[in-house]
Chain A
Amino acid sequence: MDETTDAPMSGAFPLAGGLGSVVRIPVPGSGNLAVELTAKGWTPAGGSSSTLFIQDPTGQRHLRLDYGFNKRTNSVNYHWNQQKMNPSAPGAQFPVTNHQPAGKGGEWLYKGAKAYRAAGRLMIVTGVALDVVSIVVATRPLHQAVKVVSGWGGAWLGCKLIGAGGAVAGTAIEPGLGTAIGAGVGCFAGGLGGYFGASWAAGHLYDWVEGTYFSPLPEVALPAQ
């Protein structure tokens, strides 16, 4: 098989594109907060009316982008809700108060996060399916499997690392909105870079291991007692 013309599509792009919908992207320096698209804890059928969460592992401390009745403005709008974030403390990383209206940017982000939560998972499934096909049709399935699985691990790690950097940069521009956008963009870039980097490294390592032979040592008779 001609490797360049007959190679199936890589799952790297859809996988990296969808990772942000499931990966918890840390926000360094925030006391274990991370950007996520799902709530922590049990919620009734239908889930939460929020679509974007910057929260700790338990969900007890959080900033979330919500749509619904706003007790402060007495109207239905897009707004931020926070819990235990202490936004008025001097030097607070997220000085966003509870019920603070999120504006037009918040509305777009809310709708985007809602769509991406479902679309991102579909993209991951698509990426994994493409990669599985690439293993099945490869002339060296084990070699391709090692590359693919390493790519997945690299994408996950890259999403977390570069996404964390993006979250910090975004927070510096606009806490909340910028945090989420920075984390998302960083996750995609890091996921893509991590996928290709880990896949390339794993492929070369496989080839090196496969090309390594071990010569038996010459047998030597035991000295006579």
Chain B
Amino acid sequence: MSATAELLVCADLRDTRYGGYPDLSGDVSVLLVGWMAAADAADTGPLPSCVRDALVRASLAHWCLALLGEPADARTPAPGLSGRLRAPLAWRVVNQADAAAPLFEQPSHPWSLQGQCGLLFRDPPVFGDARLWRLAHRRSALDASLLARLGIEGLLLPGTDGEFVEALFGSGDTRAQWLAALHASATTLGLPVREVNADTFRQTNWFGDR
């Protein structure tokens, strides 16, 4: 078994055990992504580079991707927020897969501690909108209309320990389009993708050692 053997995607599972967004409306389309790996790969890190690349390429197939990063001026707090939410943050727009990789590795936004958030969009949203920062903080209830108002078609969030990815979409069509793009990008990278139901996802032996 290679280090990362297979991607498993599940479209009908909403389970907080896998992390992700805490307060989701029923009209948001969810796609949970997990990856099987060799037992000795458990110690190599939460997000294998091939999985990261597949996710990024799928996201850039039809959309632009923005990820959290450090602002140029670290003293500038996120606007319109108070208290602890005023931590300095910035959105970094990515148009090429190579440019995204370092953003997943930033110590300032640890993927394994769910300190990252990806936005999928076609036309750039208003990045200064406080509602976007609340989304990044997982503070506001998320529904499809909010995504539409913000001009966001999808969100990519690290799940528990950064070892799952929760992809959230404003519509089922967008989810289907992103999933097709994921199949294509993963195939290009030699990574099989299997769509599974909730039971199979829950019972998966992720490291093949049980």
Contacts and interface: CB of A to CB of B under 8 A. Distances in A.
B147 to A, nearest CB: 17
A66 B161 CA distance: 9
B113 interface: yes
B160 interface: yes
Contact of A42 (B68, B161, B163): B68
A71 B164 CA distance: 9
Interface stretch (B56-64, B174-182, B198-206): B198-206
Given A42-B89, A83-B45, A72 B207 contact: yes
Contacts of B45: 83-84
B113 A74 contact: no
A72 B160 contact: no
A57 to B, nearest CB: 9
Contacts of B163: 71
Interface string A48-75: 1110000000111000001011011110
Given A45-B84, A60-B107, A98-B42, A68 B161 contact: yes
Nearest to A49: B160
- Looking at chain A, what size class is its interface with the partner chain? 20 to 34
B184 interface: no
A117 interface: no
A8 B61 CA distance: 69
B204 A41 contact: no
B74 to A, nearest CB: 11
Among A49, A50, A83, chain B packs the most CB atoms within 10 A around the CB of A83
B45 to A, nearest CB: 6
Interface in B97-150: 106-110, 112-115, 117, 136-139
Nearest to B137: A45
Interface in A19-67: 39-46, 48-50, 58-60, 66
A69 to B, nearest CB: 4
Nearest to B204: A74
Contact of A41 (B46, B107, B203): B107
Contacts of A44: 114-115, 117, 136-139
Nearest to A73: B210
Interface in A63-97: 66, 68-69, 71-74, 76, 81-88, 97
A59 B107 contact: yes
Contacts, number: 94
A128 to B, nearest CB: 22
B17 interface: yes
Top 6 closest A-B pairs, CB basis? A58-B107, A69-B17, A41-B110, A45-B137, A98-B42, A43-B115
Interface of A: 39-46, 48-50, 58-60, 66, 68-69, 71-74, 76, 81-88, 97-99
23 contacts: A41-B115, A42-B89, A42-B110, A43-B115, A44-B115, A50-B113, A66-B161, A68-B17, A68-B161, A69-B17, A71-B160, A71-B164, A72-B42, A72-B210, A74-B205, A76-B17, A81-B161, A82-B43, A83-B45, A83-B46, A87-B43, A98-B43, A99-B42
Interface of B: 17-19, 22, 34, 40, 42-43, 45-46, 68, 84-85, 87, 89, 106-110, 112-115, 117, 136-139, 160-161, 163-164, 202-207, 209-210
Given A44-B115, A74-B203, A74-B204, 17 more contacts: A41-B107, A41-B113, A42-B68, A42-B87, A43-B113, A44-B114, A44-B136, A44-B137, A48-B114, A58-B107, A60-B110, A68-B160, A68-B161, A71-B163, A81-B112, A97-B43, A98-B43
